Chains A and B, each alone.
Chain A
């Protein structure tokens, strides 16, 4: 029994390698999108300070919440706190965006906002894990792993699931992009910043070519084609990765679009640009985590105004640049861009100028991939605390993303621990209302 399972893992690993040669492996139905770029804002950006304005917070500032204060991490206050930022309306959709996202504001007509996200995990690790793997405990495969498991990747020379290190790893760390119990080729491959993006990539071996010839012959004779194809892919990655990371062929205009000349967002700008290049090279799932700034991620339990400002300035222009660049190159239609954190924040204050965690109602936005642009789906209550209308759970969001990639979330399963698991486990409904 043991040997059969091992061989099946081996074969699925080999099968996944074989998939790499098939452009867009067959899904359950027609796909609208081919790739996903997940812009994960770790720490929990506050919805009432970014994309979900609540005027009542100003009108009733300092008053207590009229309902029982839900348990929060710090349980420090329940007094309504207005946003320190001004909101304005943008685009033909008249979408409201706060002053800390001026560049994203210029893209609102391409964005799909979901204001009614909700779940039940109020701490970072659980929220990050849930957002990435559909489970709030570690050990489960991430969305990117399920997607590359189901569809493979059309990129021959690069991994199908790439995680672009932006200087800060989220809570729960590598579990967020782990393959869990799915075969190892589906794990997210981290690409570091600096000269050594991928572990073991650089070779100064003058005889590598000759050794590879011998290796080819040895593995053919040993009848281990899966291992041989790994050597071939490894050899190709040695040139493919530096070529990907070399931005010298990009125009100055493009680099400016991503904000790369602005030292406050150079890093995230260059990572977003690499994300677009990864899409062009057929990589299936790309993840970026928000970069390190003078603040504790987006987790502003205190110092909300300064912290959120520092965070947004590092990502705002790059995000807008990415969306615009994908659009003008005709890539946005088939690329899903997802922006969001692991939860939102409380409209009531923590201390004098912070907000506590709030998983009960928060905002994410998407672009491309057949999502209806210029649309706002769902709503929170008048204070921005609980999702109230057209609620969307993380499982529903996952089901919808898989749907756009041509995958029926109920049918992409893997037998583990005696039952068939899937990204959405036993939950999730496709949110048809946000699809065009």
Chain B
């Protein structure tokens, strides 16, 4: 999550200060089974994930699919998993699209996207996949979104 904010130039690197409440999507407020807290901003004001408020019965849905540990018990070792829910989150979540759109406004080219997100230049093959997207309508936003799904951004080998 911080990686996405950093690549987009949205990360607030300040240490300390007030925690920020989790974003509550509108459809969650319709579900009355869980006491739904007051929503924080979608991008958390760019604050580091460390400073997200933790409500034990309403975790951030994005972090939850990425093995956010359950605060109701002690977790000796965090699980490292892969699930379709993670793929859905990276494809469709509002947060990922919001950060991609923001970054897209200032993103100049595919090379910059790779440098900011992955720290290297794209390969020839990657250029062939990314450049055609860049020139489309809202191209930079789509390139930003796609690079957030790149294996080298998401997964440590």
Q: Which residues of A contact B (CB under 8 A)?
A: 2, 5-6, 9-10, 13-14, 137-139, 159, 165, 167-169, 173, 175, 178, 181, 183-185, 189, 192-196, 198-203, 205, 207-208, 210-211, 213-215, 217-219, 221-222, 224, 226-227, 230-231, 233-235, 237-238, 292, 417
Q: Which residues of B contact A (CB under 8 A)?
A: 27, 30-34, 57, 61, 65, 67, 70, 72-73, 76-77, 79-89, 91-93, 97, 125-126, 129-130, 133, 136, 142, 145-146, 149-152, 154-155, 157
Pick the contact of A203: B77, B91, B149, B154 (CB < 8 A): B91
Please determine whether B151 and A230 come into contact, CB atoms closer than 8 angstroms. no
Please determine whether B82 and A230 come into contact, CB atoms closer than 8 angstroms. yes
Sample of 18 further A-B pairs with CB below 8 A, known A168-B33, A199-B88, A211-B149: A5-B77, A13-B83, A138-B70, A139-B73, A175-B72, A178-B70, A184-B67, A184-B79, A184-B82, A192-B31, A196-B27, A205-B97, A214-B130, A230-B87, A233-B87, A234-B84, A238-B88, A417-B76
Known contacts A6-B80, A183-B79, A185-B81; A200 and B61 CB within 8 A of each other: yes
Q: Compute how far the CA of A201 lies from the CA of B91 in the bound complex, rounded to whole angstroms.
A: 9
Q: Compute how far the CA of A9 lies from the CA of B155 in the bound complex, rounded to whole angstroms.
A: 15
Please determine whether A205 and B125 come into contact, CB atoms closer than 8 angstroms. no
- A183: chain B residues at CB < 8 Å are 79, 81
Q: Compute how far the CA of A233 lies from the CA of B84 in the bound complex, rounded to whole angstroms.
A: 6
Please determine whether A210 and B91 come into contact, CB atoms closer than 8 angstroms. no
List the 5 closest pairs (A to B, CB-CB), nearest first: A184-B81, A234-B87, A222-B151, A233-B84, A200-B88
- A6: chain B residues at CB < 8 Å are 80
- B89: chain A residues at CB < 8 Å are 199-200
Please determine whether B33 and A227 come into contact, CB atoms closer than 8 angstroms. no
List 26 A-B pairs, Cβ < 8 Å.
A9-B79, A138-B72, A139-B72, A165-B33, A175-B72, A184-B81, A193-B31, A194-B30, A199-B88, A200-B61, A200-B92, A208-B91, A214-B129, A217-B125, A217-B129, A218-B150, A218-B151, A221-B125, A222-B152, A227-B82, A230-B83, A231-B84, A233-B84, A235-B91, A238-B88, A292-B33
Q: Compute how far the CA of A242 lies from the CA of B76 in the bound complex, rounded to whole angstroms.
A: 38
Q: Compute how far the CA of A212 lies from the CA of B157 in the bound complex, rounded to whole angstroms.
A: 21
Nearest CB of chain A from residue B51's CB, rounded to whole Å: 23
Pick the contact of B91: A2, A184, A192, A231 (CB < 8 A): A231
Please determine whether B93 and A200 come into contact, CB atoms closer than 8 angstroms. yes
Q: Compute how far the CA of A230 lies from the CA of B87 in the bound complex, rounded to whole angstroms.
A: 6
- B76: chain A residues at CB < 8 Å are 417
Please determine whether A207 and B136 come into contact, CB atoms closer than 8 angstroms. yes
Please determine whether A202 and B30 come into contact, CB atoms closer than 8 angstroms. no
Considering the complex, give the chain A residue whose CB is closest to the CB of B64: A199
Q: Compute how far the CA of A138 lies from the CA of B69 in the bound complex, rounded to whole angstroms.
A: 13
Q: Compute how far the CA of A231 lies from the CA of B152 in the bound complex, rounded to whole angstroms.
A: 16
Q: Compute how far the CA of A164 lies from the CA of B70 in the bound complex, rounded to whole angstroms.
A: 22
| Most A Cβ at <10 Å: residue of B73, B83, B154 | B83
Q: Compute how far the CA of A218 lies from the CA of B93 in the bound complex, rounded to whole angstroms.
A: 21
Q: Compute how far the CA of A13 lies from the CA of B83 in the bound complex, rounded to whole angstroms.
A: 8
Considering the complex, give the chain B residue whose CB is closest to the CB of A181: B79
Pick the contact of A227: B34, B67, B87, B88 (CB < 8 A): B87
Q: Compute how far the CA of A14 lies from the CA of B83 in the bound complex, rounded to whole angstroms.
A: 9
Nearest CB of chain A from residue B68's CB, rounded to whole Å: 11
Nearest CB of chain A from residue B119's CB, rounded to whole Å: 16
Q: Compute how far the CA of A237 lies from the CA of B87 in the bound complex, rounded to whole angstroms.
A: 11
- B31: chain A residues at CB < 8 Å are 165, 192-194
Please determine whether B32 and A13 come into contact, CB atoms closer than 8 angstroms. no
Considering the complex, give the chain B residue whose CB is closest to the CB of A202: B92
Considering the complex, give the chain B residue whose CB is closest to the CB of A178: B70
Considering the complex, give the chain B residue whose CB is closest to the CB of A199: B61
Q: Compute how far the CA of A221 lies from the CA of B123 in the bound complex, rounded to whole angstroms.
A: 12
Please determine whether A227 and B155 come into contact, CB atoms closer than 8 angstroms. yes
Please determine whether B146 and A211 come into contact, CB atoms closer than 8 angstroms. yes
Nearest CB of chain A from residue B154's CB, rounded to whole Å: 8
Please determine whether A237 and B88 come into contact, CB atoms closer than 8 angstroms. yes
Nearest CB of chain A from residue B53's CB, rounded to whole Å: 19
- B87: chain A residues at CB < 8 Å are 227, 230-231, 233-235
- B65: chain A residues at CB < 8 Å are 199-200
Considering the complex, give the chain B residue whose CB is closest to the CB of A416: B76
Q: Compute how far the CA of A185 lies from the CA of B67 in the bound complex, rounded to whole angstroms.
A: 11
Q: Compute how far the CA of A210 lies from the CA of B91 in the bound complex, rounded to whole angstroms.
A: 12
Q: Compute how far the CA of A34 lies from the CA of B47 in the bound complex, rounded to whole angstroms.
A: 47
- A218: chain B residues at CB < 8 Å are 126, 129, 150-151
Known contacts A138-B73, A139-B73, A219-B151; A173 and B81 CB within 8 A of each other: no
- A214: chain B residues at CB < 8 Å are 129-130, 133, 146
Considering the complex, give the chain B residue whose CB is closest to the CB of A217: B129
Nearest CB of chain B from residue A255's CB, rounded to whole Å: 23
Known contacts A138-B73, A233-B87; A224 and B155 CB within 8 A of each other: yes
Q: Compute how far the CA of A80 lies from the CA of B13 in the bound complex, rounded to whole angstroms.
A: 66
- A230: chain B residues at CB < 8 Å are 82-84, 86-87
- A189: chain B residues at CB < 8 Å are 85
Q: Compute how far the CA of A230 lies from the CA of B77 in the bound complex, rounded to whole angstroms.
A: 23
Nearest CB of chain B from residue A207's CB, rounded to whole Å: 5
